[in-house]
Amino acid sequence: MNVARLALRRTVLASRVIRQPTLSVHQAARAVHSTPAAHQATVRNDTDLTSEDATGGQTSAYLEGAKVTPADLAFSARLNLKFKDPQTLPLVLTDISYRSNKTPNNRRHCWLGRRVIDLYAGEYFYVKYPNVPANALGNLHDIHFSSYALGVIGKELGLPFVMRWTPSDNEGKNLGLNIALGRTVQAIVGAIYEEQGADAAKRFVHAFLLSRAFDLSTALKLDNPKILLTLLTRQKNLEHPVARLLKETGRLSNSPVFIVGMFSGVRKIGEGFGSSLKMAETRACKDALIRYYMKEIKDFELPSDAASTVGPEHRISFFPARKSPAAEEVTEA
């Protein structure tokens, strides 16, 4: 009998638990705000610890994002990147814009890589184009190795699929992406220079950045070609340039064409065409200047090649090598 009453009481209690109404959204909010002070203090402490961990040096979010993904491995294998530290690859692929600068990024490697690119690209242009003036060399470098131009190269290398960055609201998405890609290319060069040395960084720059065609005409500012050509012939002790009409057609029509050649003595130094003699003469002067400045050396040795081909300074000696006494005895025998 007592057992039956006990079972009945358990059934009634279970039914009361099941029929207990659920809290609405407003009731739940009131219940949260009515939490005891000790419990609220505990919740705030947990939040503070989470925020401190999120802004620390080695954060859990960064460690999760710093893992080398299969895409990162494929990218490094395609470019033959071999870093000693496994964290170097995800570090250089993290732009300074990623997560509002709260995580380690490639800022330092980018700073170093920019200087390395300037060095090797500068000596390459300096030796390859001996007649180009200094301001044109600077323009050529800015056109092909600015952050935006390097970003175009980064797209060809596949960087958009592996780079970690956050777009900015103040600039266009494409512009911001190209600049971030350019910074990442610089960071890769800086990391190679830091871990593998100058020779490895130089090989990377020549293989991926300097193995392209460069248009010098975009870097030369030829606003006054006749004056520049006159000064150039005086500087080189050449005969004064003379314009000669080579061909013409339709002089009395609505669309005449004149072909003018620029001569220094008997040697033709430039040629141009136009709808008037003045236009053809101006273009011929520009062509003569471009031919002179675009003269390039095919086979040349860079200043940085001397150490690798000749050897370090302390090992070079111009005294004849002296044989040891044992070697002299063997030679005499």
- Helices 107-128 and 134-145, axial angle in degrees (round to 10): 140
- 3-state SS, 232-260, equals HHHHCCCCCCEEEEEEEECCCCCCCEEEE
Q: Does residue 25 have a pLDDT over 60?
A: no
Laid out side by side, the sheet with 257-264 consists of 242-249, 257-264, 267-274
Q: Does residue 312 have a pLDDT over 70?
A: no
Please give the Cα distance from 173 to 166 (Å, whole number). Answer: 10
Average pLDDT over residues 60-70: 61
pLDDT in tens, 91-114: 999 998 887 656 789 999 999 999
pLDDT (0 to 100) of residue 154: 95
Quick check: helix, strand or coil at residue 267?
strand
Q: Measured over all CA atoms, what is the biggest interatomic distance in the chain, rounded to whole angstroms? A: 134
Q: Does residue 40 have a pLDDT over 60?
A: no
Q: Does residue 222 have a pLDDT over 90?
A: no
CB 164 within 8 A of CB 95: yes
Buried b / exposed e across 58-67, counting CB within 10 Å, b at 16+?
ebeebeeebe
Q: Which residue has the higher pLDDT, 19 or 226?
A: 226
Please list the helix, strand and coil fractions of the chain in percent, rounded to the nearest 5, in that order: 60, 10, 30
What count of residues does the chain have? 333
- Helices 134-145 and 147-157, axial angle in degrees (round to 10): 40
Q: Does residue 41 have a pLDDT over 50?
A: no
pLDDT in tens, 144-202: 999 999 999 999 999 999 999 888 776 556 678 999 999 999 999 999 999 999 999 99
Quick check: helix, strand or coil at residue 225?
helix
The CATH homologous superfamily to which domain 61-215 belongs is: Ribonuclease III domain (1.10.1520.10)
Average pLDDT over residues 28-50: 36
pLDDT in tens, 320-330: 655 555 555 55
CB 60 within 8 A of CB 67: no
Question: How confident is residue 205, by pLDDT bands cut at 50, 70 and 90?
Answer: very high
- Residue located via tokens 């131009």: 149
Q: Does residue 5 have a pLDDT over 90?
A: no
Quick check: helix, strand or coil at residue 93?
coil
Average pLDDT over residues 206-213: 93
Phi (first) and psi of residue 242, to 5 degrees: -130, 135
- 3-state SS, 294-320, equals CCCCCCCCCCCHHHHHHCCHHHCCCCC
Counting residues of the chain whose pLDDT is more than 70, the rounded percentage is: 69
pLDDT (0 to 100) of residue 56: 40
C-alpha pair distances (Å), 67 with each of 87, 94, 190, 209, 280? 8, 12, 21, 28, 62
Q: What is the pTM of this model?
A: 0.67
Let me know the angle formed at the C-alpha of 13 by 10 and 16, rounded to the nearest 5 degrees: 150
Quick check: helix, strand or coil at residue 276?
coil
pLDDT (0 to 100) of residue 172: 55
pLDDT (0 to 100) of residue 315: 67
Average pLDDT over residues 307-323: 63
Nearest Cα residue to 106 out of 154, 45, 144, 152: 154
pLDDT (0 to 100) of residue 332: 55
CA torsion through residues 116, 118, 123, 129, sign: positive
Q: What is the mean pLDDT of the chain?
A: 78
Q: Does residue 2 have a pLDDT over 90?
A: no
* Burial (Cβ within 10 Å: 0-12, 13-18, ≥19) of residue 122: middle
Domain ranges across the chain: 61-215, 222-293
Residue 22, by phi and psi: left (phi above 0), alpha (psi -120 to 50) or beta?
A: beta
- Taking the CA atoms of residue 198, residue 202, residue 205 and residue 208 in that order, the dihedral angle to the nearest 10 degrees is -120
Q: Which fold has domain 222-293?
A: Double Stranded RNA Binding Domain (3.30.160)
CB 258 within 8 A of CB 280: yes
pLDDT in tens, 270-304: 999 999 999 999 999 999 998 898 887 776 778 87
Q: Which residue has the higher pLDDT, 113 or 27?
A: 113
